[in-house]
Amino acid sequence: MATIRLKDSYKAGNRYEPTHLLIINGSEGRVKVTTAESLEISAVVASRYYLGKHLDVVFTESDREDLLSLPERETLILTNLLRCNPQDIANRLIPPKEITKVSVPEILKATAKKATKKITPKKTTPKKTTPKKKTLKEPVLEEE
């Protein structure tokens, strides 16, 4: 489902009207769209209001199949607006996925922090020397 909402720059014609509303007739019936919250509507209806003066329309990846199977009228309108082939409509309307790359300097910073950590030497206690047991050798008597 595509999301649709009024742009913040939209001003209602009546200055006493506190909420800025716009009623759209679509396959869902009448829909009230405000600047405060966005509504989810079908991709077919949203395609009719894409690049509208007062509306923000955002398509999601789940709308890809609906955009590829739009009726001929909407397909012609979008190809003229976007100046592309009918097969490229979905690629133009759906925002690309965000790819997060780890840059080389960040990797280097992480390894540099590990290398520059202060290494504390292990405490070693001197071994106590135990005196060797002295064994007395019995005197050897020489026989004559």
What is the full DSSP assignment across 4-27? Answer: EEE-TT---SSTT-SS--EEEEET
Tokens encoding 27: 């396959």
CA atoms within a 13 Å half-sphere pointing along the CA-CB vector of 123:
1
Structural element, H or E, at residue 93? helix 89-93
Residue appearing with tokens 């009024």: 6
- Res 35: pLDDT: 78
What 3-state DSSP class applies to 40? strand
Tokens encoding 44: 């077919």
pLDDT tens digits, one per residue of 82-121:
898 888 888 888 877 777 665 656 666 666 666 556 555 5
User: Is the predicted pLDDT of residue 67 greater than 70, yes or no?
Assistant: yes
User: Is the predicted pLDDT of residue 8 greater than 70, yes or no?
Assistant: yes
Report how far residue 61's alpha carbon sits from residue 66's, in angstroms, rounded to the nearest whole number.
10
